[in-house]
Amino acid sequence: MAPKKKKNKTFYGVKAGIINQKVYLVYNLAETNKLVADGPFESLKEAEQAMERYLSKGLCSWIATYNE
């Protein structure tokens, strides 16, 4: 069997100029047990601030990076 190739995920945003640029999405698990995404953010600092807002509300949240 041939080894599996790693699939790279690409995020295509609605904002112009974001294609092929590193972006960050902040995911959180809402109170209704739904996965919700916020962003895209162009800087890690903005994404971290958004994640900290969700964490301060007691919501599980994390940052995913796309287009690396």
Dihedrals φ, ψ of 56, to 5°?
-65, -20
Task: Please indicate, yes or no, if residue 16 is contained in any of the structural domains.
Answer: no
Task: Please indicate, yes or no, if residue 39 is contained in any of the structural domains.
Answer: yes
For 4-45, write each residue's pLDDT tens digit: 665 555 555 545 555 667 889 999 988 788 898 998 898 999
Tokens of 39: 């962003």
For 1-12, write each residue's pLDDT tens digit: 556 665 555 555
The helix (run of H) or strand (run of E) holding residue 30 is none
Q: What are the C-alpha distances in Å from 45 to residues 48, 49, 57? A: 5, 6, 19
In the three-class reduction of DSSP (H, G, I as helix; E, B as strand; rest coil), residue 5 is classed as: coil
Task: Please indicate, yes or no, if residue 9 is contained in any of the structural domains.
Answer: no
The helix (run of H) or strand (run of E) holding residue 39 is strand 35-41
Its domain, for residue 52, covers 23-66
Average of per-residue pLDDT across 52-62: 93
How many structural domains is the chain composed of? 1
Whether pTM exceeds 0.75: no
Q: What is the pLDDT of residue 15?
A: 54
